[in-house]
């Protein structure tokens, strides 16, 4: 059936296939399977499972789509900022370490937003081609480049050093840290 869903604030038409299924290893009760397909056929299909079998298929697909940015943030903070492995065990220290990781995540995006429209290390990568969307890893590399550039340039003594340092910053250091 062709339905309208609200995904991240925009209305989209999706082909939705909905069926109650039994997934014995997950639940003894029926689960709602929702397959969402792009009507134009350009995007890959999305598969959603819901334990609320009475929920509207369009509402369920919209809710899952809206949740994606939250899940992506969780993954980025754990994988790239190490929030999953705080080296603290007492009292509220682990909670503070996790909260600090999310604060750093926000700061990284703020640095990227301030540089919106500028050619940055993330966009200048040869293999990206015409990349129009910046990932968190790209934004993190840009933040590193901004933080390190001033310190390293202040230590350099000649113009030729600056060229080598810029090349190192863009192509190696910001991606290695």
Q: Are 12 and 61 in contact (CB under 8 A)?
A: no
Q: Are 13 and 38 in contact (CB under 8 A)?
A: no
- Pair 54, 104 in one domain: no
Which sign does the torsion angle of CA 40, 41, 46, 50 carry? positive
Q: Are 107 and 113 in contact (CB under 8 A)?
A: no
Please list the residues that pair with 89 across neighbouring strands: none
What is the Cα–Cα distance from 170 to 122, expressed in whole angstroms? 8
Domain range for 98: 93-176
Q: Is residue 74 part of a domain?
A: no
Q: Is residue 167 part of a domain?
A: yes
- Pair 135, 167 in one domain: yes
Per-position pLDDT tens, the chain of length 177: 787 777 777 788 888 888 999 988 888 889 989 888 888 888 888 888 888 888 888 888 888 878 888 888 999 998 888 887 777 777 888 788 888 889 999 999 988 888 776 665 555 555 666 666 778 888 888 888 777 777 777 776 666 666 776 666 666 666 665
Starting at the earlier edge strand, list the strands of the sheet with 2-7. 2-7, 10-21, 31-38, 46-50
């Amino acid at each position: 059936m062709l339905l309208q869903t609200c995904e991240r604030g925009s209305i989209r038409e999706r082909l939705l296939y909905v069926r109650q299924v039994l997934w014995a290893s997950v639940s003894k009760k029926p689960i709602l399977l929702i397959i969402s397909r792009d009507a134009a056929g350009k995007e890959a299909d999305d598969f959603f499972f819901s334990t609320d079998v009475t929920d509207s298929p369009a509402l369920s697909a919209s809710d899952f789509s809206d949740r994606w940015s939250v899940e992506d943030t969780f993954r980025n903070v754990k994988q790239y900022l190490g929030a999953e492995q705080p080296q603290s065990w007492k009292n509220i220290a682990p909670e503070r370490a996790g909260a600090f990781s999310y604060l750093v995540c926000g700061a990284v995006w703020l640095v990227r937003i301030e540089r919106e429209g500028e050619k940055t290390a993330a966009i200048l990568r040869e293999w990206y081609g015409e990349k129009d969307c910046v990932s968190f890893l790209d934004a993190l590399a840009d933040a590193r480049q901004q933080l390190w550039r001033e310190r390293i340039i202040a230590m350099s003594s000649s113009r030729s050093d600056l060229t080598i340092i810029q090349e190192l910053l863009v192509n190696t250091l910001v991606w290695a840290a």
